[in-house]
Amino acid sequence: MKLVAGLGNPGKEYEGTPHNIGFQVVDLLLEELGLTGFQQKFHSKLCRTTIKGEACIFIKPQTYMNRSGLALAECAGFYKIPVENIVIISDDLDLQPGRARLRNGGGHGGHNGLRSIIESLGNSSFRRVRCGIGRPAGKKDVVGHVLGKWSRAEEKLVRSVIDVVLEELIRFLETSQFENSSFSAPELSKSHS
């Protein structure tokens, strides 16, 4: 059994914000897989399916970012999902928009959602997809940045790299392959060639 969790905050006011990129990726992944509808379970919006004969669960914790571990631990514990079969999708201030990084294990890097998950699971060996949202320019505060809105240019870059992330997530769901790697939106790759 595999578990894919996208991190974010519940509520209309947080929709489309950089901090909710995990929710956005899960929504787009379900769309790509042709799945619809969530049920409420484990303090989360949850959707289940079977891929290549293996049960796969997708969740969007509704506990707010800082308590994401509560939902994750409940779900993983109930289904006895091994930590190496868990993928967490979150935002990352240290990556610019249009960049993403896949990692097996690691620390929380100051991300409160990941910190909560590590504390709740008592383990940091889960897999993670970190999607770049960049740091705010100038003196703009971090909270205002992560809970603000994307510019059109950023939105385009983010959507472009999410398409690559979706391919990697589907590959993991179908084959269990998940390798440490970094990705950039094609537009960024061209500008740095």
**What are 57-73's pLDDT values in tens digits?**
999 999 999 999 999 99
The structural domains of the chain, with segments of one domain joined by +, span 2-191
Which residue among the candidates 19, 43, 111, 145 is catalytic per the annotation? 19
Decide if 22 contacts 6 (C-beta within 8 A): yes
Decide if 29 contacts 166 (C-beta within 8 A): yes
Considering the entire predicted model, what is its pTM?
0.92
pLDDT of residue 153: 87
Q: Is 123 strand, coil or helix? A: coil
Of 84-88, 141-145, 152-156, 173-177, the poorest mean pLDDT is in: 141-145
192 is catalytic: no
Please report, rounded to a whole number, the percentage of residues in the chain having pLDDT higher than 70: 96
Decide if 128 contacts 114 (C-beta within 8 A): yes
Flag whether pLDDT at 191 surpasses 60: no
pLDDT in tens, 173-189: 999 999 899 988 877 76
User: Cα separations (Å) of 182 from 1, 91, 192?
Assistant: 26, 14, 14
Which residues touch 31 (CB under 8 Å, ≥6 apart)?
none
Which residues touch 186 (CB under 8 Å, ≥6 apart)?
160
Burial 8-39 (b: 16+ CB within 10 A, else e): bbbeeebeebbbbbbbbbbbbbbeebeeeebe
Q: pLDDT band at 192, cuts 50/70/90?
A: very low
Q: pLDDT band at 80, cuts 50/70/90?
A: very high
CATH of domain 2-191: 3.40.50.1470
Check residues 157 and 188 and name the one with the higher pLDDT: 157
Q: Which of 173, 155, 175 is nearest to 89 (CA)?
A: 173
- Alpha carbon distance 162, 166 (integer Å): 6
**Paired sense of beta strands 2-6 and 127-132, if any:** unpaired
